[in-house]
Every structure is written in C-alpha cells, then in structure tokens.
Amino acid sequence: MKLVKSAAILLLSMATTFISAQDKVVPYSQIPSGIKSFITTHFPKHSVAQSEIDTEGLGFSKQYEINLNDGTELKFNNKNQIIAIEGKSKLPESVIPEKIRKYIATNYPNNAITDWEIDGKNQQISLDNDLELEFNKNGDFVKIDN
C-alpha cells in the first residue's frame, strides 16, 4: 500500500511540474510583431540566436525569451512588454528609462548598465562593476541591493 501511495505522489508531482512550466524553442517568425519591433528598434545590429515561449500553468501565462547573437537575453510578458534585459556589455541607452539613465550618469559616470528588469513594483539594474541598484516604477532611486 505504501508503495502504491508513494508512486501516486511521485506521478502527481511529475505531472504538476510538467503542467506548471514548459519552455519551447520556436522559430522567430512565431514571435509577436511588437516584440520584433522592439528588437529591431533597440538592437538593430544584432541577430536573434534563439527564441522561446515559456508557458506557466495550463498555458494561461506566457513569456517570450529572445537570445541575441551577442549573448543578450530579452524577456517579454504576455502583453509583449519588455520585463528584463540581461546583457554581456553596456545596454543601449534607448532601453533604459531616462530618469534612471540620468541618475547613473550623475552618480556612476564611469559605469555602464548591463542588466535591467522589472521586479514587482520596482526596477532593478546592474552595473558593470557588479553593483545592483533598485528604483521605483517612476525611476526614483530606492536603494543599493546587496
């Protein structure tokens, strides 16, 4: 009886994991036009190395992940809005909100922003010196993350 119960729990656990998250590599042609427009506007010299659709639950939540040829990773929500950019070098200024750009130019003039993401109600950035800073949705500085 214990063996049957353990097997049932294991099977249920595996099924839940399978249902809860699925990453699927897809042709770039299947990516929404709004995402493609963002990429051609802000990363015109880059090409797409891989595109994925990540689904959560029973497909109710969807994210798009785009990997560029230079190693930059872009994440978009199900409304085709950018939610994260992980770069290997300085990000294009056009992808960083102006208020955050000005703060960094004033307070960290010798550093470049390499990562940006929306994290709940805040925005987080990483600099090329490994410093992580948090800003609110309006771009006002909140704190240095440790």
Tens-digit pLDDT profile for residues 83-135: 999 999 999 999 999 999 999 999 999 999 999 999 889 999 999 999 999 99
39 touches 30 (CB < 8 A) = no
Q: Which domains does the chain have, with CATH numbers?
A: 20-145 (3.40.1420.30)
Is pTM beyond 0.85? Reply is no
Residue with tokens 């190693």: 71
Exposure string (b/e) for 50-80, b if CB count within 10 Å is 16 or more? ebbbebeeeeeeebbbbbbeeebbbbbeeeb
